[in-house]
């Protein structure tokens, strides 16, 4: 089990260019749909917890690892999620610096923007699948979306407010 857990998260680590949010859709697919380690609702809760805690979104992986195999699973998932990408970033950073000022480098950097935005939106869709199951949850999601798109309210405040509303009305 630990080997499979490490393998899944190591592959996710290498797919995670653009930040942790970019791998959330694939993490959902791997851990919920393919491996059945957690349910869609559990995945959404782990994601929400990882957003409330200081640190990267990929803390979700540590929580899933814990659900699968306790502390050892959490450690394996965390090391697998951060180790390969850290090594790759170090190596690629050295290559990237070597081509500073090259026109293809700048074009590549600009082209990655839309890819990353698409991956972030795909992550939002994956989280919504586990979190949206009642009309009230759709209303909460809609209200949070409107607040985030039209104001500069800190996302943590909206997550906490949504959690309070859910706790109060969805008992």
Read off the pLDDT of residues 34-79 as tens digits, 9 standing for 90 and up: 999 999 999 999 998 888 887 777 899 999 999 999 999 999 999 9
pLDDT tier, 151 (very low <50, low <70, confident <90, very high otherwise): very high
Number of Cβ within 10 Å of residue 140's Cβ equals 21
Nearest to 81 by CA among 22, 155, 159: 22
Radius of gyration of the chain (CA): 18
pLDDT tier, 20 (very low <50, low <70, confident <90, very high otherwise): confident
Per-residue pLDDT at 121 exceeds 80 = no
Dihedral sign of CA atoms 130, 133, 136, 142 in order = positive
Per-residue pLDDT at 155 exceeds 70 = yes
CA distance 92 to 84: 12
CA distance 130 to 51: 16
Query: Which tokens belong to 85?
Result: 């990408």
**What average pLDDT does the chain have?**
87
Per-residue pLDDT at 98 exceeds 80 = yes
CB 9 within 8 A of CB 80: yes
Dihedral sign of CA atoms 138, 26, 49, 153 in order = negative
Q: List the single range of 31-35, 80-84, 98-102 with lowest mean pLDDT.
A: 98-102
More reliable by pLDDT, 122 or 3: 3
Share of the chain above pLDDT 70, in %: 98
Per-residue pLDDT at 5 exceeds 70 = yes
């Amino acid at each position: 089990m630990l080997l499979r857990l490490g393998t899944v998260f190591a592959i996710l680590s290498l797919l995670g260019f653009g930040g942790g949010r970019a791998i959330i859709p694939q993490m959902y697919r791997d851990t919920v749909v393919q491996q059945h380690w957690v349910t869609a609702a559990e995945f959404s809760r782990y994601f929400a917890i990882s957003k409330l805690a200081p640190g990267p979104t990929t803390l979700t992986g540590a929580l899933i690892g814990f659900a699968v195999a306790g502390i050892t699973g959490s450690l394996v998932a965390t090391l697998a999620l951060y180790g390969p990408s850290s090594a790759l970033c170090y190596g690629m950073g050295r290559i990237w610096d070597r081509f500073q000022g090259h026109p293809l480098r700048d074009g590549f950097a600009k082209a990655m923007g839309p890819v990353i935005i698409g991956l972030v939106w795909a992550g939002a869709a994956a989280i919504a699948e586990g979190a949206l199951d009642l009309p009230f949850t759709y209303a909460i999601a809609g209200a949070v979306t409107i607040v985030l798109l039209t104001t500069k309210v800190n996302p943590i405040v909206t997550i906490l407010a949504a959690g309070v509303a859910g706790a109060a009305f969805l008992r």
